[in-house]
Structure 1
């Protein structure tokens, strides 16, 4: 018996901002799973900023997407057929076979999760998944957060940023500041997530808005944006400040080198530490993260917003919308 699957392929490598013509939708047939394999019907697919970098044929921490083959990414679904003794039909599994409605994978590539533990399976791609782990370890381990710190988060209304700010408040931050790209997102940060203040980076120079929001400076900067946000954070950083570099979405589609930051000399006098990190290196903290944060998600003390686009055929639109900042919280495709 064969199973029909709809897959999204990379048809050509984007130059600058991706466009729909860079992708193609392909229908293919998948066989019954062989020994040690499972066939998964995806329920939710994650689209994330890092995927833009995988579309370039350049060396990186993860192999680039290959042309005319299925793309991949975080997904969660239900096992439809199984050739693996330890994974039964009907089990819910988390895996990297996204950008398709069905995936045939080795059992070693999936992780069985408890559907009863969450109100929606999407939580395993959001607050209880790599998104949450990125925020948790980036703030606590990489930036070495301490109670009483003033924390600035760029891209704060995004999937990772929303978690960083709330975890900082939960752990005793003196002040949490966020940047976002609209008035509605600023309101979301302050009124829904409990940020002390936030600003719309489109309203004026980031450096001036950050200084007004943090007149006593910042101790921690969690960077999801890069560019002028990083330069502004360096200027506002207190002595012995720490910067965790998670992403640089402002530069992912650029065709010319960034103009900022231009103030790296301040690292010397301020004794600033800046560290880039990958969540791929932090999976040993997953158990601690879930034990610490899951109860707060269940109680509603930590909120995780989602922007959901329906239909596998709309995956590209969801991805492009995420790059344009059209999402609040995590951008997901409901298959």
Structure 2
């Protein structure tokens, strides 16, 4: 796959990235064999960007990803993880984690965006993964911690970057406004934007995407299926949108988009993966994967042709915003193998 560089750094990402949250048993268990097979399938398909976090399965995702990559040449892949949630012993375990992962709760998460917390978190991640360095480190969901994240955590990450300990630094969130602040007010190189530039939500056009374009910074798009509603050819009632059951009106809108996709010879999931590349600041789309079968499907969707005329009709029908950029051909050619 083609690579695109995070501006002003030496870090390059493949157009499609491997999201590691399912390796941490997100919503349900993923077997160790399936996790390994998924990573091996991604590697065979040319994926070289792998994202994880301590939050994902209380360290399980990091351990599994590190073990599967350990025999690969370190210079040939890029790993990102996150800081902000320290894993500490749980003095009062109840048996199972309560934050969406099917794992035991022997550990618990503790919010910490202090300099010391950043250093401790990175050290623990490296130990869990068996690595000597991370290529990208993101602040993880600092929504309620702006001051400490901006004044303590980000300067600490920037110092590590300037020392060559990490390659690039940034923040990852489910909102776009604060990500724009990180780009404009802190030494951020790249942001991970979850769900705010998709076929159902283009709110990032109001803040973070213009900021990234103006400053020459990179954006990694995640959550492009909006928790599942855009993941099937024909959405149905009861599917999730942003981690909750989608409202009926939103399901109807997704169905209308799907009908236009069908008329143009493509599918809703293929369009969902292709859409973020419409904006020149987006350098990567990362998708969560838990099996070799899911990897094969997502790689095929990533490579599938999506005609330019689709976007024009979606705009004309008011199904996407009229100010979505139009230079799809250039962006699509940059992501194809």
Larger CA Rg, structure 1 vs 2: 1
Could you say which structure has the higher strand fraction? 1
State the TM-score, normalized to the length of structure 1.
Answer: 0.29
Could you say which structure has the higher helix fraction? 2
State the TM-score, normalized to the length of structure 2.
Answer: 0.29
